[in-house]
Structure 1
Amino acid sequence: MKQLSGLDSVFLDAEDDHQFTHVSQLLILERPDADFEPYPAWRRQLADRIHQLEPLRRRLVEVPFGLDHPYWIADPDFDLDFHVRHSAVPPPGGDGELDELVGRLVAAPMDRDHPLWVSHVIEGLDDDRFAILTMIHHSAVDGAAGADLLELMLEDSPDAGRPAEAGRWRAETPPSTAEVLARAAVNGVRRPARGLLLAARAGQKLARASRSPAAIDLADKVRGTLRGPLGSVLNAGRSRDDDGRLPRLPPLVAPRTPFNHPISRYRRFAHRSLPLAEVKAVGKQAGATINDVVVALCGGGLRHWLTERGELPDRPLTALIPVSLRSGDEEERWTNRVSGTIAALPTDLDGPLERLRGAHEALDLAKEVFKALPGELAPEVAGLGTPLATTAVSRAVTRWSTATPAPFNLVVSNVPGPTDPLYVGPAPMRHYVPVSAIADGVGLNITVQSYVDQLDIGLLACAELIPDLADLADAVVAEFDLLRDAVGSAEEPA
């Protein structure tokens, strides 16, 4: 039995009748022959690997009255057939039909009486293709852990044999009410002391970012009092922070756009792909990273799309950029270790090269701001409140977002994916498309994932706010063509 972290619980508390916090992966595969049957092959593969797929076996145990964060247990009533489902797209079975089905499938909450995941095998696609859409609740894994989990679900060769421990795992007996209440009482005693330390650490970082001498002195004094025996106990297992000079927080304010409104429960999805080698080459020629190129493409695509609608703001849009806090040394692999920073998108700049330079500068600044502010404390801070309190905060934020602009316009994420091919039985996976989540006030998410030789782009939006999401996806791809041509022209001799 393992307790959810505070950040894990936040993703449970944030859900309501129209906000769903599962993250998904859309895999597009190629049939190896006409007789291959995708559904039984995928179900068999999961059954053989379920012993190493811990997040897929465990379900929630709630603490009475919301006095503490829930627990995970290995589900004694686990039923693989409940989770693995069979779907199909209508003719002609192209990417448009697939995207429409994915948008409908992700627009539903998870059943909390079962482990929080489902996987749809989707047939009916053209060109001998089939797809697998796997949805896992964000309380169980973050993006990086989800990518690791998917690699365990798939095979690394077309002729892999069954694992030696195939299907062997042990279920757990649910704890008694008295047991979880006793644990809640112990955790309630620990929270205030931990909160004091985190407040001091956060205050020090914020003060240094603002360059306020008085605030710096006060935060240093408070934190200094926690560097003795008490600090040693509260910081057990943690390294000290670097107290070096830190940069100033940039004043970024998000302008209003068509997708910065309360969302409905309906979703629109679109995916596109770019050759990874070409993206890398363009970035290298321009002295930019893949992250720079991704942000430039999003900024340019949004600029063109908003201009066509006559709704381009004068000020640049801003994006939340998720930041993984994983070091590789975590004791618990299947949990959330993620924070974020905010960067300006180059939607106000004219020309693809200018937008690429703007993206590079914005990301450099965002990295410095993240180092200055206590963003890495987010998982620990989230654990200070009880579910009762975090639910109240989540509901308050939801109501606030319906009347007040969010601090950013959309989420933009770039996740490095597998570099070697993966398989379902003998069927090779051709694309690995991310499908993320949206929330009130932030009705657009663009997530990019690399896989072997492809850069797969997944856009998710509220269907009522962005009914023409496919046009925005096309605009992002068109921006790459403009950038590639501009970089090539800039390198030609005069």
Structure 2
Amino acid sequence: MKQLSGLDSAFLDLEDDHQFLHVSQLLILQRPDDPDFAPYPAWRRQLADRLHQLEPLRRRLVPVPFGLDHPYWIEDPDFDLDFHVRHSAVPPPGSDDDLDELVGRLVAAPMDRDHPLWVSHVIEGLAPEEEGGAERFAILTMIHHSTIDGAAGADLLELMLDDVPDAEPPAHAGQWRAEEPPSTAQVLARAAANGVRRPARGLLLAARAGQEVARASRNPAVIDLADRVRGSLRGPLGSLLNAGRERDPDQDVPRLPPLVAPPTPFNRPVSRYRRFAHRALPLAEVKAVGKHADATINDVVVALCAGGLRRWLLGRGELPDAPLTAMIPVSLREGDEDEVWTNRVSATVAALPTDVDGPLARLHAAHDALRVAKQVFAALPGDLTPDAAGLGVPATVTAVSRALSRWSSVTPAPFNTVVSNVPGPREPLWLGGARMTHYIPVSAIADPVGLNITVQSYVDQLDIGLLGCAGLLPDLPDLADAVAEEFPALRAAVEGTEDTEE
């Protein structure tokens, strides 16, 4: 029996009837030549043989009465693989757009908390990627965010699949031991013990946070951010705090995100319905563009998202004058964690250069914005987020989380969108004789941020998954096209050819 961390529990607390915090993997595979190969039984058998290695798939929630403590995971004594592995199909002609529409419908549903928090759909009926090519099928696996983060999800996938075709089942295939649920008295006793220890943990964490804040006082990016906050104050208090404040208007200051995210069509309360769209870019070419411009893959990804959003918003006549802002998840994993299957993630906020004209200039602005975001994150105690989330009295934290969720639906968005780049496997993965060709991320959205753009690298592809609220973004495929179309424009600009900006 293992207890959820405070951050893991928060992903449960923030769910309601219209926002569901599971993260998903959409895998596309090529059918082998073997006429006896059947995707659904092959995938079911694959998981059954590897369940002893796949802890997040076996464990079920055990809540603590009255919310006195965070819930626990137990190895589900009533585990039923047939409940979790399901069979679906796209209608003819089986295009990628048909697949995206089905995925949008499938992810728009909550998880059943009486079972382990995951579901996997084998989706058949996909047309070949190119005329005369191999037939394809897809696997959509949805796992609740309380179970894993993005980096852990990539690790889990490598355990689900094989690194060679037609691999033999692993040793001890399917052998694992279920647990009996604890009694109410047992979980209450643990809650009481944790309640005694929680204040001491809070003092230690406060001391660590104080040290990091002290270091932040010497960080130029943090100093400028504090200066901007002070400078934005109005009224008598602002006059007092800004007394004697002088700034050189020509001073080159870091490109910090706006203090208030500008309005967009997708920064409103979300419905329970989703739209999904995916696109792919050649990873080697993305790396080459970044190398040529002395930029990282992250820089290129943020520049592409900014350029795509700029194109799309200009087309609607709704581009704000101020740059949009993005929440950038930051993995805290160092590779030596005692517990792998939990959330070790924090976040920072960066300016998206949607106000910059020209793809090369946007790339340079994205590079500067991410550099400053990293400086701010490194200086502030963001790495303490997972520990801090577990300090409050769980019932109170739950109530506050839900109140903040409701409050966020009627207040300005803290950022406009989420942009995440997750590194994936470098070598091909296999299901029997079926080779996986794409690893497409499908993330989550919540009020009032109705758009998530997540990028996943896999072998020679950079797969881009956009998830949006169906009511706010009915034309999400157009936005996906705009992001993908930004790449040839950026490549042309980097190579010195004619700029193809709008």
One-letter code aligned to 1:141 = I
User: What is the TM-score when the length of structure 2 is the normalising length?
Assistant: 0.89
The answer for the alignment partner of 1:450 in structure 2 is 457
Matched, 1:460 2:497: no
Shift of 1:401: 1.2
The answer for the alignment partner of 2:334 in structure 1 is 327
Residue deviations 1:107-137 (CA, integer Å, cap 9, x gap): 0000000000000000011011100000000
- For 1:108 and 1:144, the matched residues in 2 are separated by 23
The answer for the alignment partner of 2:100 in structure 1 is 99
SS at 1:336 equivalent? coil
Tell which deviates more after alignment, 422-431 or 32-41: 32-41
Residues 62 and 69 in structure 1, CA contact (< 8 A), matched pair in contact too? yes
Shift of 1:472: 0.3
The runs of 5 or more residues in structure 1 that have no matched partner are: 217-246
Shift of 1:304: 0.4
The answer for the alignment partner of 1:14 in structure 2 is 14
Shift of 1:291: 0.4
One-letter code aligned to 1:157 = V
- For 1:295 and 1:368, the matched residues in 2 are separated by 17
The answer for the alignment partner of 2:237 in structure 1 is none
Residues 299 and 347 in structure 1, CA contact (< 8 A), matched pair in contact too? yes
- For 1:300 and 1:461, the matched residues in 2 are separated by 18
- For 2:421 and 2:256, the matched residues in 1 are separated by 23
The answer for the alignment partner of 2:423 in structure 1 is 416
The runs of 5 or more residues in structure 2 that have no matched partner are: 129-134, 224-253
SS at 1:120 equivalent? strand
Residue deviations 1:429-478 (CA, integer Å, cap 9, x gap): 00000000000011100000000000000000000000000000000011
One-letter code aligned to 1:54 = E
Shift of 1:293: 0.2
Shift of 1:250: 6.4
The answer for the alignment partner of 2:302 in structure 1 is 295
Residue deviations 1:77-114 (CA, integer Å, cap 9, x gap): 10100000000011110001000000000000000000
Shift of 1:484: 0.6
Q: Percent identity?
A: 80
The answer for the alignment partner of 1:3 in structure 2 is 3
Aligned runs of 1:219-368 on 2, under 5 Å? 252-368=259-375
Which residue, out of 433, 445, 457, partners 2:440? 433
The answer for the alignment partner of 1:172 in structure 2 is 179
Shift of 1:393: 1.5
The answer for the alignment partner of 2:490 in structure 1 is 483
Cα distance change of structure 1 residues 487 and 460 upon mapping to structure 2, 3 Å threshold: same
- For 2:102 and 2:482, the matched residues in 1 are separated by 22
Residues 210 and 249 in structure 1, CA contact (< 8 A), matched pair in contact too? no
- For 1:107 and 1:14, the matched residues in 2 are separated by 16
Aligned runs of 1:128-147 on 2, under 5 Å? 128-147=135-154
- For 2:36 and 2:457, the matched residues in 1 are separated by 30
Shift of 1:397: 1.3
Residues 252 and 318 in structure 1, CA contact (< 8 A), matched pair in contact too? no
Shift of 1:159: 2.0
The answer for the alignment partner of 1:400 in structure 2 is 407
The answer for the alignment partner of 2:46 in structure 1 is 45
Residues 341 and 370 in structure 1, CA contact (< 8 A), matched pair in contact too? yes
Residues 27 and 439 in structure 2, CA contact (< 8 A), matched pair in contact too? yes
Q: What root-mean-square deviation, in Å, do the aligned CA atoms of Structure 1 and Structure 2 show?
A: 1.8
The answer for the alignment partner of 2:85 in structure 1 is 84
Residues 412 and 445 in structure 1, CA contact (< 8 A), matched pair in contact too? yes
User: What is the TM-score when the length of structure 1 is the normalising length?
Assistant: 0.90
Tell which deviates more after alignment, 255-264 or 482-491: 482-491
Shift of 1:210: 4.9
The answer for the alignment partner of 1:369 in structure 2 is 376
Residue deviations 1:395-421 (CA, integer Å, cap 9, x gap): 111222122112111100000000000
Residue deviations 1:271-290 (CA, integer Å, cap 9, x gap): 00000000001111111110
Matched, 1:108 2:119: no
Tell which deviates more after alignment, 195-204 or 401-410: 195-204
Residues 107 and 142 in structure 2, CA contact (< 8 A), matched pair in contact too? yes
- For 1:58 and 1:436, the matched residues in 2 are separated by 21
Residues 62 and 70 in structure 1, CA contact (< 8 A), matched pair in contact too? yes
- For 1:18 and 1:491, the matched residues in 2 are separated by 46
The answer for the alignment partner of 1:242 in structure 2 is none
SS at 1:40 equivalent? helix
